Structure 1
Amino acid sequence: MPPLAHEQFFTSLADLLSKTSQKARGSVFLTQKPLLSTTTSSDTTSSQPSILIRATDGNTNAPNPKTSKVQKKSTLSKIKLSTVVAPEELEAFYARYAEVCKAGMAGLKKRDRKKVKAKKAGAGKAANAKV
């Protein structure tokens, strides 16, 4: 799949974040890495490389062996988005990228850590009782 234009990437990312926040569960993975060119000229090594930005949801194409139900093909599709940002456009891109990510994360629920703390406290008391 070829990289999207910046505006298409932002609209697709906003749509992906809103769909994921409306579900009871879900993940969106955001990655970025330098896009190294295959040419070996001395001019390109001195300048900064372009950045490849990717976004994907947590769905995989492989079925989960732990679930007994066979899932439909439509639920197995994985959404993959990517765009390439030139070094000159980084500041403007990151400003807009931050806005889209913050807007998409506004609907998320805060994690309930009381259960985790209670389990750790219970395990610590059990360990002290054995000693």
Structure 2
Amino acid sequence: MAPHSSHDEFFSSLTDLLSKTSSQAHGSVYLTQKPLIDVPGATTTNSQPSILIRATDGNTNAPNPKATSKDGKITKSASKATKIKLSTVVTPDDLEAFYARYAEVCKAGMTGLKKRDRRAKKAKTKGGAAKAIKA
């Protein structure tokens, strides 16, 4: 497994990942965090654990089941790149400053997002329920 990057490297890579994803017509960025409890040297004197922050583009490199060749075999899309994985470890002492910068980077990278249109789904469920009651 690759070593965790420094905070500055993590933020620059996350900025690039968010801008690349927002410039495309589609894509996902998954942001996760978890405490590092059972790792030696991960806790400080105040007994709060360090936190592992991860970001990935969600590209699994799995073949698309809908992409089949003429002979019926599933083909792997050539346009898929390797999965991007970013991670860093934040100590409890650096947590406040890290989260302030993390929020800025995430907000700046999510400006191109649109809210999902769920009106069609709501109309479908309302119409379906009305038909069931009438019948």
Q: What is the deviation of 1:39?
A: 4.1
What secondary structure, in the 3-state scheme, does the structure 1 residue paired with 2:129 have? helix
Q: What is the deviation of 1:64?
A: 2.2
Match of 2:17 in 1: 16
Q: What is the deviation of 1:38?
A: 3.9
Matching of residue 86 in structure 1 with residue 87 in structure 2: no
Cα shift readout 1:79-113 (whole Å, capped 9, x = no counterpart): 10000001100000000000000111111112112
Matching of residue 99 in structure 1 with residue 104 in structure 2: yes
Normalised to the residue count of structure 1, the TM-score between the two structures is 0.87
Match of 2:72 in 1: none
Normalised to the residue count of structure 2, the TM-score between the two structures is 0.84
Note if contact 2:27-2:57 (Cα within 8 Å) is conserved in structure 1.
yes
CA RMSD of aligned residues (A): 2.1
Q: What is the deviation of 1:76?
A: 3.9
* Residue type of the alignment partner of 1:47: S
Match of 2:48 in 1: 48
The structure carrying a bigger helix percent of its residues is 1
Which runs of 5 or more structure 2 residues have no equivalent in the other structure? 70-74
What secondary structure, in the 3-state scheme, does the structure 2 residue paired with 1:75 have? coil
Cα shift readout 1:28-57 (whole Å, capped 9, x = no counterpart): 1100001124449xx869611110000001
Which runs of 5 or more structure 1 residues have no equivalent in the other structure? none
Q: How many residues are treated as equivalent by the alignment?
A: 127
* Residue type of the alignment partner of 2:80: T
